[in-house]
Amino acid sequence: MLSAKTQYAIHALTFLGERFGKGPIPISQIAEHRQIPYKFLEAILLELRKSGVLGSKAGKNGGYYLLRPPEEVPVVDVIRQMEGPISLLPCVSKKFYESCRVCPHAEPGCIVREFFRQVRDSTLHAMEGRYLSELLDPHALKE
């Protein structure tokens, strides 16, 4: 299951996506509208900025904004950024590979590994090619 942090991140990003091109949006506005604890959200947005998803502007009239249009922000990147691996085992992860502490089998030809590689492929297939724009509320004011 996704952590609260990742879920908050997604909702903050959709909020910013719905307001793309309207300049910086302050944390307080996102926190209020999406019911996210202010300070927790602050940490999340900082992380998303450091990982290159968001830009920010300090000072009066400052806030956060998407660096690229929602059509170009892959959902899977956001999940990986906040949550870590998509895979259920470290030994089948593409982006976070580690050998299995726990597994007694030799890796090439490990049959358990093969099963979880197929699961990962299937999960990833549903995620890849999907963008933030697809998660925006169609009823959100988009003038």
Partner DNA sequence: TTTAAATCCTATTAAATTGGTAGACTAAAT
Partner DNA sequence: ATTTAGTCTACCAATTTAATAGGATTTAAA
Phi and psi angles of residue 45, each rounded to the nearest 5 degrees, phi first = -65, -35
Please provide the distance, in angstroms rounded to a whole number, between the alpha carbons at the two ends of the chain: 35
3-state class (DSSP) for residue 25: strand
Q: Give the span between the Cα atoms of 100 and 105, in whole angstroms.
A: 9
Q: By CB under 7 A, is residue 52 in contact with DNA? A: no
- Smaller CB distance to its own copies: residue 46 or 76? 76
Which residue in the set 32, 33, 43, 118 belongs to the binding site for DNA (CB under 7 A)?
43
DSSP state of 131: B
CB of 54 to its own copies, least distance (A): 19
Binding site for its own copies (CB under 8 A): 1-2, 4, 7-8, 10-11, 14, 33-36, 75, 79, 84-85, 87-90, 100-105, 111-112, 115, 118-119, 121-123, 125-127, 130, 134-138
